[in-house]
Amino acid sequence: MLDKKKRVVRKKGKIEKQKDTTAGKVIKKQEEIQEKKLETKRRGRPAKIKVKETIKDMMEHKVVASEEQTKIESVKYYPVQMEEKNGKKHIETMPKPERKETEIPERYNDNKIVLLARDPYWCYAYWDIAPGYMEEKAREARKTGNYNLIIRVYDVTDIVFNGTNAHKFIDIPVNGDANNWYINVWASDRSYLVDLGFKTQDGKFILIARSNVVTTPRDKVSDKTDEEWMLVEEDFDELLKLSGAGKFGSSEKFKMRIEQELLSGSGAVSSFSSPVYKQEAKGFFLIADTELILYGATEKDAKLTVKGEEVKLKEDGSFSLRFHLPDGQMNLPIEATSSDGSQKRSINITVNRKTE
C-alpha cells in the first residue's frame, strides 16, 4: 500500500516537472512565432508556417486512419471463415476445375521496362527481357571487362528527354536475375524515367530498355497560390438534359445562380471566362454572344446592392460589373444606402435578350 502511494507521489513530481519544461517550451515557441511574425512583417509576406504544420500533423494522422479503414474494408471480403478461431486460413471449398485455367505465361520476353509511381518517394519498375537479347547486350558489355546490371533513374521533370538532358540521374545496381525493383526516388512531385542497362568497368552505359515517364505525387501543400476560377457552363444545358434534368433543379434556376454568382463574386474572384456559344464551326463560322456592363456611382461611403447582393465600391464611389447576358429577361434592382442609413436611392433596370 505504502509503496503504491510513494510511486504515485513520485509520478506526480515527474509530471509537474514535465509541465514546467513544456511551459518553457511554449513560451519559447511563442517567442519564435513572434520573431517570425516580425520577420515576415519586415519582408511584407504573410506567415504560412502554421498552416503547413497543421497539415503535416493531419497527414500523419491520416496514415493511421487509413490503416484502420483498410481493416474495416477487408471485412467485406471476410464473412465466411475466421482465422482467429482455429488458426486456419481460408480453405478452398471449390473443387479444382477441369480446365487448367490458372495457367498464365510466366514471361513475355518483350524487351520492355515499365515504370509505375507508387507514392511520393517510391516507384516500381518491372521488365521482361528476352534471354537472347540480354546475352547480346552482355557480350557488348563484356568487351571492357566487368559489368553490372543497373537501373539509371533520370529526373526529366518538364523536359522532353533526349537521352542526355536530364536534370539529374542516379544509378541503382540490381541483381542480374531480378525482373522488378522498387526505386526510392529523391523528390516528390517530379517526373522520372528509367533505363535498364549494363554499366561497364570503364563507366560506359549499355542500354537494354527505356521506360515510360511517371510523375510522383505531391506530399505537401503547393507553394503556388495564384488562383484561377472557372465557371463551367458550356454544354451545361445539354448535359443537364442528358442527365435527366428536373429532379435536382432546372437550367433556368442554374442560370439565375450564375448571375447571382457573378454579381456577388467580385470580392473573391480574380478572373472568369464567359461561356461562348458556338454554332458548328466548319470552315465558315459565326460566333456571337453578349455581355452586360453595369456601371454607375454613388457616395463613396454608401452601401450598394445589386439584386440584393452587396457590391464593393471603388475608392471614388463608382462601380462597374460585367457579366454574361443570356437569353431572357434579367432584372437588376440597384439600391444605395447612405452610410448612416438615413437615405436610400434605387434604380431598377430590366434587360431583355432574344437570340434568333
Partner 1 sequence: MREPDGYLALILHAHLPFVRHPEYNDPMEEYWLYEAITETYIPLLNVFNKLIEDGVDFRITMSLTPPLISMLRDPLLQDRYVRHINKMIELVEKEVIRTRFEPHFNRTAIMYREKFYNARYVFSEKYNKDLVNGFKQIQEAGKLEIITCGATHGFLPLAYHKNSVNAQIKVAVDHYIENLGRRPRGIWLPECGYNPGDDEILKTYNLRYFITDTHGIIYGTPRPKYGIFAPVFCKSGVAAFGRDMESSKQVWSAKEGYPGDYNYREFYRDIGYDLDYDYIRPYIHESGIRMNTGIKYFKITGKVGLGDKQPYDPRAALDKAAEHAGNFMFNREKQVEHLHRIMKRQPIIVAPYDAELYGHWWYEGPAFLDFLIRKIYYDQQTVKLITPFEYLEKYPKNQVLTPCYSSWGYKGYAEHWLSGENDWIYKHLHKTYEMMKELTEIFIKKPLSQIEERALKQAAREILLAQSSDWAFIMKTQTMVDYAVKRTKVHIHRFYRLYDMLKSGNFDDGYLSEMEWKDNIFPNIDWTAFNF
The reply to whether 27 sits near partner 1 by the rule CB under 8 A is no
Q: Select 141 or 330, whichever has its Cβ closest to partner 1.
A: 330
Residues in region 190-219 near partner 1 by CB under 8 A: 212, 215-219
Read off the C-alpha cell for 278. 458556338
Is residue 226 packed enough to be buried (19+ CB in 10 Å), middle (13-18) or exposed (0-12)?
exposed
The whole-angstrom separation of Cα 154 and Cα 191 is 8
Q: How far is the CB of 202 from partner 1 (least distance, A)?
A: 34
Residue of 1, 2, 94, 288 interacting with partner 1 (CB under 8 A):
94
Q: Interface mask (CB under 8 A) for partner 1, residues 28-57, using x and -?
A: ---------------------------x--
Read off the C-alpha cell for 203. 563507366
The reply to whether 291 sits near partner 1 by the rule CB under 8 A is no
Nearest to 205 by CA among 216, 215, 194: 194
Q: Interface mask (CB under 8 A) for partner 1, residues 145-174, using x and -?
A: ------------------------------
The reply to whether 102 sits near partner 1 by the rule CB under 8 A is yes
Residue of 3, 16, 92, 177 interacting with partner 1 (CB under 8 A):
92
Q: Interface mask (CB under 8 A) for partner 1, residues 105-124, using x and -?
A: x--x-x---x-xxxxx-x-x
The reply to whether 305 sits near partner 1 by the rule CB under 8 A is no
The whole-angstrom separation of Cα 199 and Cα 208 is 11
63-100 burial string, b = 16+ CB within 10 Å, else e?
A: eeeeeeeeeeeeeeeeeeeeeeeeeeeeeeeeeeeeee
SS3 127: strand
Q: How far is the CB of 12 from partner 1 (least distance, A)?
A: 27
Please give the size of the binding site for partner 1, defined by CB under 8 A. Answer: 93
Is the CB of residue 156 less than 8 Å from the CB of residue 213? yes
Instruction: Tell me the residue type at 142.
Output: R
Read off the C-alpha cell for 118. 507508387
Q: How far is the CB of 19 from partner 1 (least distance, A)?
A: 26
Q: How far is the CB of 270 from partner 1 (least distance, A)?
A: 10
The whole-angstrom separation of Cα 185 and Cα 213 is 13
Residue of 3, 16, 223, 291 interacting with partner 1 (CB under 8 A):
223
The reply to whether 224 sits near partner 1 by the rule CB under 8 A is yes
Window of 15-23, 140-148, 254-262, 331-339 that interacts with partner 1 by CB under 8 A: 254-262
Is the CB of residue 211 less than 8 Å from the CB of residue 195? yes
Is the CB of residue 113 less than 8 Å from the CB of residue 125? yes
Q: Select 79 or 283, whichever has its Cβ closest to partner 1.
A: 79
